Chain A
């Protein structure tokens, strides 16, 4: 026992002299203590492993806490959680029925995200091609940065802009769509509908603007990696620029563009405030997408959390769990696609 105390001090001294030796380049081999090196490495490695494990722990904790807080509310639900469209989780009278379900949330989330995808994907591919192959070379970087700035605008500002500006300028487009594409049902704007463009269509367009930068940035990264030889071979054979793009760039970038689009879809599915500000809360399934209405997973949580009581909070957490699982699945597919395409390339 009496001999133990000095030994830690001795190792600290050894470690100190070791780094003096290393930094002045004059150290002999005896100055570096193997034990202190191993200890330093072990501590540092341990810290970094713990930090990495925390990433997995957070993901696991999200799943665990959402499940454990959702179960009591789900057990009290008198309706079918998957097929019910209404959202009355807190009974107005004690002992009254508890009714909530995700049918309208799921459909509206899906529809607004699909509108966003339909608009954003072609435009984003165009932007990526523009900044990679069409823009003057000196301007390409600043122009790509300009598109990236769209990602810097906070979602609540998109919501404000969508509510106070954008929706007021969509009247003509919506009537035009109704006139020429009303027969599809989707764009049929019924005379009985409330005017106002607080619709899934408007929300989808704003979402499209919001997910443009992520899709175009990733697509651009893939497009600029196309091997120089492929491009020059196509041009040397007399291909026009579009033929070059079609022959060498697009096939090479297909997997990357697909995964970029899926990542954009994940972003659109989980977007909250822009959607919450634009949509009027209507808990039913309405496939006339240009009419007022709509409520999504995320906007429902943001709008209802303030007034939710016990069961209501649990119900919102349950819907958050569904959103978490959906986005997890969507993002996992995108990441697996990216990884596989990297292996092939």
Chain B
């Protein structure tokens, strides 16, 4: 073994492996690329333009590195390095907008948020003036998503139970499974206009929190089904068979063995589903509308007079229209404040859901 690693064999190994660029080459070339990129930006425009400099640096870096690699290591290694650069760039291209969106939202939104903003409604506030808040919108969003979960979760869990425990392999089961997947792709505006056609036009009800919750339930249902199905499939068949062997009927096995085992995963899936629909705007614009007053009753769906709620997304939409494209308008600032609160709520739900999933995995 010692002879294989001895220094006098290194030239042979090098000859077998071929020439390689030193390990520090990518870093050095990256530095060179940045310098050249900034230089080129000055050369072309006479000033530093960040976006241009970044793009130029990236292009120059990959060009120089590919050329160097081609000269030293050969064509195959050069292509490999070029592709590695592309893959890393692709990831940065995705991370960049996320950072920009979060940064911009926080920057525009954080100074709007205060106790008054979170604790008061827009009642008697002129939209063109500063002041007012989003209490009514937060309450509406929470009520509507909770209501939609109350509809979608039992339906979704039972459907998943059918697919996994009863008839997943039957013709009917395959049909349901197919349409659950297709339903995942139903645009939110279509769910909205469906409830609009069925609930508001055909049945003659007015806008209300419940109408929005119905549309959200349609959007949440396939998410809950898929998440529950995945979790139920993970429950070991041994557990079910042990229960059957003790003479426990199938429905009690499901209730007492299968569901408790899968419960943390199902809770995670439900919370992710809630987080998904919490940001849905389109159906709520059609079905919930806006109301400057605090309305804590999503069930006020009379046929005579509308008593709409407000949700955070519709509040943002409304404020955006009041601002009429002016970024310094008070309504625009309220829109950013509400957007920050909405993102924070959704991220919080995501975080809690994933923490539950992690704890459950660690325990099991």
Q: Point out residues on A near B: beta carbons under 8 Å.
A: 18-19, 21-22, 25, 27, 29, 32, 37, 40-41, 43-45, 47-56, 58-59, 61-62, 65-66, 68-69, 122-127, 129-131, 134-135, 143, 145-147, 149-161, 163-165, 169, 172, 209, 212-213, 216, 240-243, 245, 263, 266-267, 269-273, 277, 297-298, 301-302, 305, 313, 316-317, 320, 323-324, 327-328, 330-332, 334-335, 338-339
Q: Smallest distance from the beta carbon of B19 to chain A beta carbons, Å? A: 15
Contact A156 B317 (CB under 8 A): yes
Which residue of chain A has its CB nearest to the CB of B217? A58
Complex Cα–Cα for A49 and B155 (A): 10
Q: Smallest distance from the beta carbon of B235 to chain A beta carbons, Å? A: 16
Contacting residues, chain A, for B82 (C-beta < 8 A): 242
Contact B172 A52 (CB under 8 A): yes
Contact A123 B166 (CB under 8 A): no
Contact B346 A152 (CB under 8 A): yes
Contact A153 B79 (CB under 8 A): no
Q: With A55-B159, A270-B190 in contact, do A160 and B185 touch (Cβ < 8 Å)?
A: no
Complex Cα–Cα for A182 and B343 (A): 39
Contact A331 B176 (CB under 8 A): no
Complex Cα–Cα for A212 and B180 (A): 22
Complex Cα–Cα for A263 and B182 (A): 10
Binds A, one of B124-132, B142-150, B261-269, B276-284: B276-284
Count of chain B residues with Cβ under 8 Å from any Cβ of A?
A: 100
Partner of A302, one of B180, B279, B282: B282
Majority DSSP secondary structure for residues of B touching A: helix
Complex Cα–Cα for A216 and B87 (A): 12
Contact B189 A155 (CB under 8 A): no
Contact B52 A164 (CB under 8 A): no
Q: With A301-B193, A320-B189 in contact, do A52 and B342 touch (Cβ < 8 Å)?
A: no
Q: Which of B80, B167, B254 has the most CB of A within 10 A?
A: B80
Contact B183 A160 (CB under 8 A): no
Contacting residues, chain A, for B347 (C-beta < 8 A): 149, 152
Q: Point out residues on B near A: beta carbons under 8 Å.
A: 49, 51-52, 76-77, 79-80, 82-84, 86-91, 93-95, 97-98, 100-101, 104-105, 108, 154-156, 158-159, 161-163, 165-167, 172-173, 175-176, 178-194, 196-198, 201-202, 218, 221-222, 225, 246-252, 254, 275-276, 278-282, 285-286, 313, 316-317, 320, 325, 327, 332, 335-336, 339, 342-343, 346-347, 350, 354
Which residue of chain B has its CB nearest to the CB of A154? B279
Contacting residues, chain A, for B193 (C-beta < 8 A): 66, 301, 316-317, 320
Q: Smallest distance from the beta carbon of A311 to chain B beta carbons, Å? A: 13
Contacting residues, chain B, for A212 (C-beta < 8 A): 94
Q: With A126-B87, A150-B98 in contact, do A272 and B187 touch (Cβ < 8 Å)?
A: yes
Contacting residues, chain A, for B222 (C-beta < 8 A): 55
Partner of B201, one of A69, A134, A324: A69
Contact A58 B183 (CB under 8 A): yes
**CB<8 Å pairs between A and B, sample of 26:** A21-B247, A37-B249, A41-B249, A44-B250, A52-B167, A54-B159, A126-B90, A126-B93, A157-B105, A157-B343, A160-B335, A243-B76, A243-B80, A270-B189, A270-B190, A273-B317, A277-B320, A298-B189, A302-B285, A305-B286, A317-B197, A320-B193, A324-B187, A334-B185, A335-B182, A339-B178
Partner of A65, one of B105, B158, B194, B332: B194
Complex Cα–Cα for A155 and B276 (A): 11
Contacting residues, chain A, for B76 (C-beta < 8 A): 240, 243
Partner of A147, one of B94, B196, B320: B94
Contact A302 B286 (CB under 8 A): yes
Q: Smallest distance from the beta carbon of A305 to chain B beta carbons, Å? A: 5
Complex Cα–Cα for A66 and B193 (A): 8
Contact B185 A52 (CB under 8 A): no
Contacting residues, chain B, for A22 (C-beta < 8 A): 246-248, 252
Contacting residues, chain B, for A19 (C-beta < 8 A): 248, 252
Contacting residues, chain A, for B346 (C-beta < 8 A): 152-154
Complex Cα–Cα for A61 and B201 (A): 14
Contacting residues, chain A, for B185 (C-beta < 8 A): 263, 266-267, 270, 327-328, 330-331, 334
Contact A242 B84 (CB under 8 A): yes
Complex Cα–Cα for A245 and B90 (A): 16
Contact B285 A305 (CB under 8 A): yes
Q: Smallest distance from the beta carbon of A304 to chain B beta carbons, Å? A: 11
Contacting residues, chain B, for A69 (C-beta < 8 A): 197, 201-202
Q: Smallest distance from the beta carbon of A26 to chain B beta carbons, Å? A: 11
Partner of A269, one of B165, B184, B187: B187
Q: Smallest distance from the beta carbon of A149 to chain B beta carbons, Å? A: 6
Contact A130 B187 (CB under 8 A): no
Complex Cα–Cα for A159 and B285 (A): 15
List 4 other contacts, CB 8 Å, given A52-B162, A172-B49.
A66-B193, A271-B187, A316-B193, A317-B193
Contact B86 A272 (CB under 8 A): no
Contacting residues, chain A, for B201 (C-beta < 8 A): 69, 313
Q: With A150-B98, A153-B343 in contact, do A127 and B90 touch (Cβ < 8 Å)?
A: yes
4 closest residue pairs by CB, A with B: A270-B187, A126-B90, A154-B279, A51-B158
Which residue of chain A has its CB nearest to the CB of B221? A55
Q: With A55-B225, A123-B93, A134-B84 in contact, do A240 and B187 touch (Cβ < 8 Å)?
A: no
Contacting residues, chain B, for A123 (C-beta < 8 A): 90, 93-94
Contacting residues, chain B, for A135 (C-beta < 8 A): 91
Contact B77 A56 (CB under 8 A): no
Contact A127 B91 (CB under 8 A): yes
Q: Smallest distance from the beta carbon of A248 to chain B beta carbons, Å? A: 15
Contacting residues, chain A, for B156 (C-beta < 8 A): 51
Contacting residues, chain B, for A41 (C-beta < 8 A): 249-251
Complex Cα–Cα for A126 and B281 (A): 30
Contacting residues, chain B, for A323 (C-beta < 8 A): 187, 189-190
Complex Cα–Cα for A130 and B181 (A): 27
Contact A40 B90 (CB under 8 A): no
Q: Smallest distance from the beta carbon of B332 to chain A beta carbons, Å? A: 7
Contact A301 B104 (CB under 8 A): no
Which residue of chain A has its CB nearest to the CB of B346? A152
Contact A327 B187 (CB under 8 A): yes
Complex Cα–Cα for A53 and B187 (A): 21
Complex Cα–Cα for A3 and B227 (A): 49
Contact B159 A324 (CB under 8 A): no
